[in-house]
Amino acid sequence: MRQSAFLIAAVALLGGCGDEPTTAGTGADLRLVGAPAAELQGLAAVRAATARFHRFEVAYGENYNFLFMNTCMVDESGLNRGGMGYHYVNTDLLDASLDVATPEAVLYEPGPNGQLRLVGLEYVIPKDAWSGPPPVLLGQELKLNAFDLWALHVWVWKRNPSGMYADWNPDVNCDNAAVASAGARR
């Protein structure tokens, strides 16, 4: 009974936070229904630990101040997989360890008024820092990307129709990147 109550609370926490409107039954990522309790606990911990980063100034002040690739990232492959937004990285965290409470990067989508909206997180281990099978976090294997980084995106702050851990989010775009460049970004 206690575990069932916890799972219900964890799913509610996953879907109930953020500033997007939700409808009953669809606030949480439905792909997580039936997910192991440890994964749901980890995702709840991720949200609790990173909620303060909704204020970009807080993330920036906590050393998330390296703008990866100096651009707002969108899929330009022609497959229209969506975007990732701006990746602000805390380079002090780029090592062989992972901690759900301290992602290596926070992802922001530029808004129409220049504001940056927290949409997701990325956990990263440099390829040279890791040997052996792929690292695992939240029950998910990290993927080796084109930048020689083991990486896992976690879309806890904006629902991703492609899945909680997909690389690209079709609901994230960089249409307002020029406005954000002129306004909120440092």
Closest listed residue to residue 125, CA positions, set 111, 144, 109? 144
**What integer is the mean pLDDT of 83-89?**
97
* Locus of tokens 């020029």: 178
What local confidence, expressed as pLDDT, does residue 178 receive? 85
pLDDT score for 156: 97
Q: pLDDT tens, 141-165?
A: 999 999 999 999 999 999 999 999 9
CA–CA dist 7, 4 (Å, integer): 5
pTM across the whole model:
0.80
Return the higher-pLDDT residue of 122 and 32: 122
The SS3 of residue 184 is coil
C-alpha 95, offset from chain centre: 18
Provide Rg for the chain, Cα atoms.
Answer: 16
**Mean pLDDT score across all residues of the chain:** 84
